[in-house]
Homo-oligomer: A and B are copies of this chain.
Amino acid sequence: MAREPARRPGRPRSQHARQAILAAAMELATAEGPASLHMEAIAKRAGVSKETLYRWWRSKTEVILDAMAEYGQQAVPLPDTGTLLGDLGEFLHATADSVNPPTASVLRHLAAAAAADEGQALQIRDRFLARRRAALGELLDRAVARGEIEAGHAVLARDLIYGSLWYRLIFRTGPVDHAWARDVAAAIAARSRPGA
């Protein structure tokens, strides 16, 4: 028996406005200066009133998070090659691919918001990072199950891997490319006991 969504009274929320806002946010986040991403600019570009914007999102971080959930759906696939090195290699390869310049721009916005405000940090951690950490966790858990690495190492590995990614993104200490993916995979998987 289908449970209809219990239509609330009043004018329904405009999906058109919602889409326009998320699209505008992505465009602005991607665009030139990071200072060009204001609530006011989002509203203007989306052809929407500030009232509507603030009604549904309290901060630009929330808008970006929703926009990433909507548009950044480049689901990194979960490889299953049978070895941690193989799995990690493929996973990070795809991850590096997904960090193209526009996306990198958006990610830096998120990092800036997280660094500046604990509340937003938690939002970003739980609504954005969590999914990716979970995917990576899956690979590592399999390796643990196979006896390739220890459980404790698996937990830390996520911070090491994603940490190096964000570190390079934020401080420009190096590119997040295929070389990065290969080397990180090797470094993490090196602990494995191939013969075990």
Residues 166-182 of chain A, each 1 if its beta carbon lies under 8 Å from chain B, else 0: 11111111100000100
Q: Which of A20-28, A39-47, A92-100, A110-118 is found at the contact surface with chain B?
A: A110-118
Q: Which of A56-64, A70-78, A151-159 is found at the contact surface with chain B?
A: A151-159
Find out whether the CB atom of B170 lies under 8 angstroms from the CB atom of A114: yes
Residues of B within 8 A of A190 (CB): 153, 190-191
Residues 116-157 of chain A, each 1 if its beta carbon lies under 8 Å from chain B, else 0: 111001101100010001000000000000000000110011
Residues of B within 8 A of A164 (CB): 156, 159-160, 163-164
Residue A187 at the chain B interface, CB threshold 8 Å: yes
- The minimal Cβ–Cβ distance linking A188 to chain B, given in whole angstroms, is 8
Given contacts A122-B172, A190-B191, contact A115 B112 (CB under 8 A): yes
Determine the distance from Cα of A186 to Cα of B111 in the docked complex, in whole angstroms.
Answer: 28
Residue A53 at the chain B interface, CB threshold 8 Å: no
Residues of B within 8 A of A129 (CB): 171, 173
Residue A88 at the chain B interface, CB threshold 8 Å: no
Find out whether the CB atom of B167 lies under 8 angstroms from the CB atom of A159: yes
A residues contacting B by CB (< 8 A) are: 34-35, 108-109, 111-112, 114-118, 121-122, 124-125, 129, 133, 152-153, 156-157, 159-174, 180, 183-184, 186-187, 190-191
Q: List 5 A-B contacts (CB under 8 A).
A: A121-B172, A124-B171, A125-B172, A152-B183, A187-B191
Q: With contacts A114-B170, A122-B172 known, what are 16 further pairs, Cβ within 8 A?
A: A35-B116, A109-B115, A111-B111, A121-B171, A125-B172, A153-B187, A156-B164, A156-B183, A160-B161, A160-B163, A163-B165, A164-B164, A166-B166, A166-B167, A166-B170, A187-B191
